[in-house]
Structure 1
Amino acid sequence: MKGCMTLVFYVAALTVWVVTADAKELSITTIKDDPYAMSRGSELEGYCIDLLAELSKKLGFKYKLHLVKDNRYGVMDSSGNWNGMIGEIVRGEADLAVAPLTLTAVREQFVDMTTPFMQTGIGFILRKDLATEESTFSPLSPFSTEMWVGILIAFLLTGLCIFLVGRISPTEWAEPDTEVHNFTLLHSFWYITGALTLQGAGPHPKALSGRVVSAIWWLFAVMLLACYFGNINSMLHSNNKHVSITTFEELANQDVIDYGTVESASTMLFFKNSNNPVHRRIYQHMERKKSYVSNVAEGIRRTQEGNFAFIGEAASLDLAVARYCEITRSQEVTSMRAYSIAATLGSPLVKNLSVAILQLSESGELTYLRDKWWASSCVRDHSNHTSQALQPHDVRGLFLLLGLGLGVGLLLALLELLSRARNQAKDGKKSCCSVLTSELNRRFGSGGESSEQDGSEKSKA
């Protein structure tokens, strides 16, 4: 019996809703606030405009949209009168308020609010150079991990190239059967290590090919060291200028950066009524400095100018971060809250709107609208930090120069060996290919290795 009465009551409420919706257009108030409602010529567009259109399709009502006259969300003054959109609802000037209206206990006493269509919280934004976390200096920090891997590969390839040039070039190793090969693999790596520390490590190459490779590696080493020490210098200087602020407590415990929120908005009231000591200090600072702003746009502008942190609701702050790449939002979010649609007390619209909002959430439509209007314009995060670790693409020209030098050195060594093979082929009346193959076998085969071992044993004796 009780279930039947509930069903009858619901059907009656739905009937009243349909009759009311058909009888007149709903008067809906909203406020200009990116990206919820923005001007597009003579019309409005944004998240709340799209949400209202979807609700209209689901419930079949017509509406007339207008902007709130005093450009306020709604707060009660000392005499008990409401302003803003909440005031228009209370006075009967509008049937609904579709905007990022925070669901609060005070508002719920004077208007009915639907199921929330968005969850958010309170955070703050500031310039990235003010939010950088300070870290202890590391000798590896001037270069990125990819850069160090590139340097290691360049080191190994250059050492191997010096070794090959020393073996191939006849000027460097004229008689593999009798002479000692100076540029062993170990000595080749020791030789280029000496160049990295700007110290000599003889013997030095005698052939043109070996000197080309050595000169290119020396140039690479000098420019690499210049980049390394230059980046160390910029990191030390930039770290001295940074003020690391990532939480509300760190914000409250410093006096270098000013901070504020929108005057008379729900965020300000939260800090005013909070019993948290950190939140109380933040409110007292804003009252003492009168660091309030008139709207979100002014807060974002002051943040971009620097030395200011704007405190607001995370959903609005995320939009600023998506549009302005030099701004970042704090990871800490406090006072979780929700945005709802407001209606007059006892309005039959609230139940149906709440059901429709839940249906849009379950179908993924609300997520789609969030992704649509909060799309980031930062294709890539180009940070303004001068202390950013150097990446391989920053010095790709240097790596290309080294690769070109190694290739030229190997080519010259092969040309030297080929010239010698041609002369020997003419003198011995043999084919050039057979003489070249024989020379390569002597230099890289067992014969070359045994002569090198014999030579090393003689040198030890």
Structure 2
Amino acid sequence: MTVTVLPNGTTTCEGYLYDLWDTVAHELGLRYRMVPLLKPLYGSMEANGTWNGMVGELAYGRADIAVTTLDMRSDRATVIDYIDAVSVTRTHSKFYVRASSHLVPEVTTETLSSLLKPLHPDVWWTLLVALLALAAALRVVVRCSHAASESRQTVERMGWVACLLASFRSLVGQGWESAPNSVAVRIVTSCSWMLGIIIYASYTANLISYLTVPKQDLPIRSLREFHEQPGWRLAVQPGHSILNDWKQSRSEEERALYRRSQAREGIIDIYWNRASTQRTLETKVLTYVNIDPVFRILREETCSLVPIPDLPVKTNEVYMAIAKGREDLRGRINQVMRRLNEEGLLKRIKGQWLKSNDAICERPAGFREMTFGDVFVILMIVPLGVVLSFVVFIETKSIVMSFYIIEKIPEVVTEACEKSGTGREF
């Protein structure tokens, strides 16, 4: 519901909740006056035990009915009553962050392991076991083959290392310089080649799919990272019921969120106006919110907010509320709400205001171009290979030179002795 204060001090209201309440009031013949809150808080218990927000307005007799969407909670039910015949809507509250898109990703352990993502870790372990098994089978079959089937040179050449390299070449689709002659050995090599073709095709297909499907890069993935990384802020609606849940949570990270909200450390208040809601799009902001109102205010800009997948989602049926001691009025309102729901009028009013947000962030079907960040790890294979080659070359060169020096020492000493006339030889 949107409340606008006019220059003359009067207010105008519009939206789903206002149309719903106006319909209920018309059915019951009620006269009412809409009074907006100075701070649109839902209502949570303060540290001193008092209630703020709309719950406080009802609890302390300053209002009769709250035309809003309140979670049904046992602590709130001690001071207010709910118009609970029919819920006005359902909310899905999650943690959101602004997705980051880097052309060149940061080099992390996860980045370097991206080449392994097309296949499940169980597949990689099975593939390693299969590689060792095929190498062992190849070595045993070659070793035990009849002399008429395999030449002595082939048996000597196909040692353990050669069999392991041969199995690896088969798995990656490479050929051999020569193939063994025996049927048993060729059966083993055929199995390794077939396994290689299947794995090669599956890996390639999944890798292309992984690279071309749009994905979001999240700056944090847990509340622990939120607390550990400096400069992060929390955006939440003042008086949100989740604050009381965080206060009593078993999770230390959630209790830390409550303490931060009470101390006002890095807190951004969401008041459902464009100025405060747009702050959820800033970097290093963790937002806990029902995303539907954000969509209605920011529209396409909201698509940059991405839910953190490993954090819990809170789904609630929400209701309007009424002050205690008005059981007759509450019963009559519930009766009208129940009839509006049965006649489909409640759904019709909701459909006029609450549209689906799925189509706003839909991307066109097809593929996306692969960026440098997508193939960064693949391209790193070349410089890493060059560096490793030079390291091995230098190490090999130093070893060869050391042997060369050791071999030359006796000759140099002998020559020196001959020149000095001692005649000693080594």
- TM-score normalised by length of structure 1: 0.45
- TM-score normalised by length of structure 2: 0.48
